[in-house]
Structure 1
Amino acid sequence: MSACLASSAYALANDWHLALEHAIHRLQRIDGANLGLIYFSDRFNGVSAALIERLRAATGVNDWVGASGIGVLGAGEAELDAPAISLMLFRLPADSFRVFSGRNPLPRDFAAYGALIHGDPATPDMSDLILDMASKVRSDNVCGGLASGHSKTLQIANAPLNGGVSGVAFDERIRLVTGLSQGCVALPGSWRVTGVEEAVITELDGRPALKVFREAIGPALGADLRRATRNLQVGLCAEPGVQRAFAVRHITDFNLRQGSFAINDQVSEGQHLLFVKQDAESAASDFRQMLLGLRQACPEPPVAGIYISAAGRGAALFERDDSEVAMIGEVFDQLPLCGFFASGEIANCRLQGLTGALTLIF
C-alpha cells in the first residue's frame, strides 16, 4: 500500500480571494501534509506571491510548485479562459522529494527517480532543458507542462518565477506513471525526411513532400489544402515504426512552386514522420484508449492524478472544456485530480504538443 496521501480542490471566482478561500475550504485536510501543487488562472499572476503566502498560512505546507494557465482543471471540472484555482495537498514520506528551480538547483546528492516540472514557453532551448532534466533522474518519467497565459506566464517553485524550468523531483519511494493522448489517429504509412531546410520539408523518401502529403490524405482533401490543415497534422516519430511514439506538429505553410510544406518545429534529415487526423471523434477514442491502458498498467490504485492538457484542446477539440476530466473520472473514480491547460506538455522526457498527459502518483 502506498505511503502517500492526497486531496484536491478546484474553485472558480472573479475575485482571487474568493477563489482561493473556496478552494482551501474544499480541500480535505491531511495531517502531516508536506507538499502542495497550485495551478491558477493567469488573471491571478499579479497576486501569485500572496496566493502562496495564504496557502502556507492555511495549510501549514511550506513547499509549493505549480504554474499559471489560461485555464485550470480539477476532478470533474475544467474551464478555459476562466478565473480559477486548482490545488492539491500531498503527504509524502519524509525527504522523498525536493523542490528545485534555476535559483535553487536540485542537490547532487538527491537520488531522483522522477520529476514533475514546469517551464517558461519563452525559453528558446526548452527541449534541451527537458533532456538535461531527464539525465538527472533514474527513470524515464519526467512529466509536466509549460506555463500558459495571454501575455505573461509564471511558474511556482516556493516562489513565483520566470524562465527555464522548475518543479519537484521524487526519490524511488514515489512512483509516477504517465499516459499520453495524442488526440488523433495516424493515417496509413510513414516516410523518411530526405530534404529539409530547418522547418521546411522539401522531400519525403526522395519525392516532393507536398506530393506525398496529397497522396496520403486523398484527392478530396488534397485539392483543398487550407481545409486539410484544419484536421490534419504531422507526427514526428521518435523511432521509425513506433506508431504511438510521435510528437504532433502543425502544418504552417505550403509552397506550391517548391512542392514543400512547413511545420512549427525544426526537422532533421533522416527523421521519420507520418500524417495524423485530429477531430473530436478521433480525440475521444484516443483518450479513452490511453486511460484504459493506463489503468491496466497501475500496480495498485493511484493516490492522485495530475492532468495537463494542451491549450488548443478543451471545447475546441471535444464537446466541452471538461470533457477530458469527465472521462478521467469515469475510469478513475474519486481520484484527486489537478492540472491546467498548457502551452506545451511534457511526457516521457519530451516536449509534446496538442496532447493530454495524465500522470498517476503512487
Structure 2
Amino acid sequence: MQIDNKKTISQELLNKCRKLINKKFDKNKIEKIESEDNFIKALIEGENFNIFYDMLKEEYSKKLFEKIVRYRYMLAFYPNVHQNFKRELFFSIKYGTISTIFWIRKMIFFLITKRIFLPKEVGAFALFHIISLKQYDVKNIFEVKEDATIFDIGAWKGDTAYFFSKKCSNKARIYAFEPDDYAFKILEKIKDKYKLNNIITKNILLSNAEKEIDFISMIENTPTIKKNAITIDKFVEENNFEKIDYIKMDVEGAEKNILEGSIKTIKKFKPFLAIAIYHGGKLFMEDFYNIPIFIKNVINEDYEYYIRTFSPWGGETILFCKPKKI
C-alpha cells in the first residue's frame, strides 16, 4: 500500500480497505459491521492511528502497520475464518501480515530440527516464535546483553525466561513474573531442571495499584480466585533495584494496567521495552491503537518506536521501545 500524504494515514488506509470489500458486501452490511467493530470505529475516528503511525521510526514498521490494519479490518467481515483451517490458510495468504508460506516452512523446520532439544513442558508455538522467529531478539532494536537485569512479565511456563537465560550470562538477573499457580509450578520446574540459575521466579500478580483482583487463569475449567496485586513501581522500590535494562510484557490484555503501575520505573531506568499490543476486544487488536498512545504520552521524548509481528494472523505483534540514550 502506498500512502497519499494529502490524506491522513487513517483515511488512506480506510479507503484502501473499503475497496477490498465494496464488491463483496452491500452498503448496509458494511456500515453495520463498521459501526459495531471497535477497531474500525477507532480507524474511522483516526486520531490514535495517525499518532501511532507517526511515532514509528522506520519504513518497515510503517509498512507492517498498514498490513496489520488491513488484516484486522478484513477480519471484521470474516470473523469465523479461524474456525476452518483451509479458509484460514487462504485468508492469511491473501491478507496476512507476514508471508504465510515463510511462516509454515520455518515452523516445519523448527519442529524437525529444534523442538526435540527444547523444554517439552512448553508449547511448540511459543518456543517457535521465540527461538526460530527471534521474537525478543531483534537486531539493533531489542537485544539483551549478557549481564542484563530483565523483567519478564507474563513468563507463563518459562518460554521467554528460558530464552533470556540461555542468551545471558550467570551475572544476569531475569525476574520471571507469573501469577498463574499452575503455570508457575512448571516455570519453577524448568528453572531447576535446566539449571537456569540466573532466573528469579516471582508468583506475583501485577497491576496498576495495590488491590485485590479476581484472577482468571488461562487454564480451562480453573475457578476464578482472588489475588492481591502490586505495581512494578512498588516491587522495584521494595527491592532497591539499581538498574533495569529490559522489560518484556505479554499478559493477555493486562498490559496497559501494568504499564500504569510502571511509570516511575520506566522514567527512572529507561529500559528497553517489548510490549504485546495484539490483545483486546472480541476479534483482538484493540490494544494496537491504545497502548502506543499511552506510552507516548508518558515517555515520548526518551524512546524510538518499532513494531514487529511474528504471525501471519496479526497475533504476536510487539511494540519495541528503544531508549534514545543507546
Bin the TM-score by the shorter chain: 0.3 to 0.5
Higher normalized helix content (fraction of residues): 2
TM-score for the superposition, normalised by structure 1: 0.31
Higher normalized strand content (fraction of residues): 1
Pick 1 or 2: higher relative contact order, CA cutoff 8 A, min separation 6: 1
